[in-house]
Amino acid sequence: MAEKRGADVDEREAKRAHVGGGGEPLERDTASPPDLDQVVTAPSAPFAATSGAPACAPAARRASTRKVAIVVAYCGLGYAGLQRNPNVRAVEDDIIAAAVRAGRVPAELSSDMKALWWCRCARTDKGVHALANVLSFKCVLPHDECVDGVATTLNAHLPPTVRVLAARRATRGFDAHKLCDSREYDYLLPARALRSPLTGRVCGVADAAGVDGAHAPLSDAELAAVDRLLGGFEGTRNFHNYTHGHAPTAPQAVRYMMRLRAARAPSLDSEPFVALRFKGASFLVNQIRKMVAVTVARARGLVDDELFAATLSQARMPIAIAPAAGLLLRSCSFDHYDRTFGADPSKGGKLELSGEEEALRDAFCEAHVLPHVGSAENRTELDEWLGHLDKFDFRRPFSASETPGGAL
């Protein structure tokens, strides 16, 4: 009977689809994955030492596997996104390669995501950054080593633009995608991008700096006005126009936005920046970049309230898309998981970052993400995009031959 219960648990685990953020296809089929534990403990398979020393036989240093969750920060420059795909370089390629070199993943299973029970909280697209994405997998650990050492050993083999901020032991059934309560993104852009090119005002606010102050920070009244614009997205809405591949009546296009607001961001190269912050249960592909485009267009006086409401209706409309360089995944929240398992050390503790780990995250952002966002190249790209946005016709009839949601 005990063996049958164990088999039932394994079958349920095998059927849990390890899905990345953004709604990518399921990666796990109904077939049982290869037995990673058997590969690790096979007498003929030496365990690769994590310190760079020669591999040692299992008799000298026994190893086992543990479900591990890692919190990862990365700059999206040079990557085709987070998720592994054929013929492109992805962030996961570098992380898995580092895990192999560190002895955390057997080389013979490194190309089999099912065998590794690999799972990601949020799938970021090409050029998008992350400050605290969460990945989970079955990790090889010597019996005399704790999970905390995983971050150090992986970082020793990763490029400076990819860092593991923390590692936690996770429960067997942990699913980084399904157990995430909310995800929070920032979109960073110069404050001037929100000003009308004609009046220099943001949302028509009377105390705006004006054309002569086009490069001035946003005032409190202007920030409050942008907050009101973002608030129009809050709640349960139909975002079929803000993505692609979903019909107006598709249930998958309906998403719940928790809190959206604007905040001052650090100046980059002496230019004031603004962070548009999006917190939601989940997001569709390109949804945030299209929400940014509509918000900027409203702030610049290009889209009125009636037209904005129409974008959230079942009517099909073209919508511009903002550049990827300003978008970064700020955090992933596992409040319910932390409350349930965080107090039990045998389960690995909470996934939230400690004060020291948050300091590492902030230092990484300042060193690798913000310089890229504020680079002359990206600001030139943004200026060109703003020029096109000012001419974009949100009211033109939607063509059945174009991608739903439009593009710019």
Distance of CA 78 to the CA centre of its chain: 16
**CA distances, 185 to each of 90, 257, 358 (Å):** 20, 12, 16
By the 8 A CB rule, do 317 and 310 touch? yes
Give me the helices (H) in 27-116, please.
Answer: 36-41, 91-101
Give the burial class of 230: count Cβ atoms within 10 A of its Cβ; 0-12 exposed, 13-18 middle, 19 or more buried: buried
Give me the helices (H) in 214-286, please.
Answer: 220-231
Count the neighbouring beta carbons within 10 Å of the beta carbon of residue 108. Answer: 12
Residue 185 annotated as binding site: yes
Give the burial class of 4: count Cβ atoms within 10 A of its Cβ; 0-12 exposed, 13-18 middle, 19 or more buried: exposed
By the 8 A CB rule, do 302 and 293 touch? no
Contacts of 212 (CB under 8 A, 6+ apart): 200
Q: b/e map of 366-396 (b: 16 or more CB within 10 Å)? A: eebbbebbbeeebbeebeebbeebeebebee
Tell me the three-class secondary structure of 284-317, residue by residue.
CCCHHHHHHHHHHHHHCCCCCHHHHHHHCCCCCC
Catalytic residue set:
125
In angstroms, the first-to-last Cα distance of the chain is: 60
Copy the structure tokens of residue 216.
């001035």
Q: How far apart are CA 155 and CA 99, in angstroms?
A: 9
H-helix or E-strand spanning residue 275: strand 271-280
For 30, half-sphere exposure in the C-beta direction (CA atoms, 13 angstrom radius) is 0
Beta pairing class for 254-268 and 119-120:
unpaired
**Residue positions forming the annotated binding site for substrate:** 185
Binding-site residues sit at 185
